[in-house]
Amino acid sequence: MPKLHSDIRILATEHLQNAYAPYSGFRVSAVVVAKSGREYVGVNVENAAYPLSRCAEQVAVGAMVTGGDREIAMVLIHSTSSPPATPCGACRQVISEFATPDTPIICSNDAGEELRFTIGELLPAAFKLNE
Ligand code: THU
């Protein structure tokens, strides 16, 4: 499990206020660290048409791909929830596309609580398109 640099925590905490969550009131931020070392942040972006809302992890993965990276080294998911919120099923699949089963997923909150998993633990047997 790689060391979680404090700047990643700060990044996630600082961006939590940018989450657009007027409907649920539940703010989430995510930092995707690519194998290149670059860091990509995402927050949840809700919509009046509720199903169009996007999770923080999916926004962060989109930013990573936009930035030219394709391999995830680690994901930090931050919220005010206690225990810390874990990624939803859809986000587990989205992360799996660019991760390996041992990729660390760290879930934290403002109280300093932390849960650590690998994506393989959170989503065993992820869907892969094998032709
Ligand atoms: N949410 C995320 O951003 N990530 C997750 O993994 C689970 C849920 C967001 C979606 C919605 O805006 C709010 O949290 C409440 O479900």
Predicted confidence at residue 1, as pLDDT, reads 44
From residue 19, alpha-carbon distances to 12, 15, 27, 104, 131 in Å are 11, 7, 5, 23, 38
Pocket test for ligand 1, best of 31, 47, 55 (most atoms within 8 A of CB): 55
- Protein residue with least CA distance to atom 10, ligand 1: 55
Q: Can 57 be counted among the known catalytic residues?
A: yes
Decide whether any atom of ligand 1 lies within 6 Å of the 44 Cβ.
yes
* Tens digit of each residue's pLDDT, the chain (131 residues): 445 667 899 999 999 999 999 999 999 999 999 999 999 999 999 999 999 999 999 999 999 999 999 999 999 999 999 999 999 999 999 999 999 999 999 999 999 999 999 999 999 999 999 87
What are the residue ranges of helices labelled H in the chain? 6-15, 56-66, 89-96, 119-122
Tokens of 47: 């919509």
Predicted confidence at residue 34, as pLDDT, reads 98
Predicted confidence at residue 71, as pLDDT, reads 98
Instruction: Write down all domains in the chain, each with its CATH number in brackets.
Output: 6-122 (3.40.140.10)
Pocket test for ligand 1, best of 28, 29, 117 (most atoms within 8 A of CB): 28
Predicted confidence at residue 6, as pLDDT, reads 72
Which is it for strands 72-79 and 104-109: parallel, antiparallel or unpaired? parallel
pTM, two decimal places: 0.95
Give the integer Cα–Cα distance in Å for 78 and 87: 10
- What is the distance in A from the centroid of ligand 1 to the CA of 88? 7
Q: Which residues on adjacent β-strands are paired with residue 74? A: 33
Tokens of 25: 């009131």
- Protein residue with least CA distance to atom 13, ligand 1: 26
Give the integer Cα–Cα distance in Å for 87 and 107: 8
- Protein residue with least CA distance to atom 7, ligand 1: 88
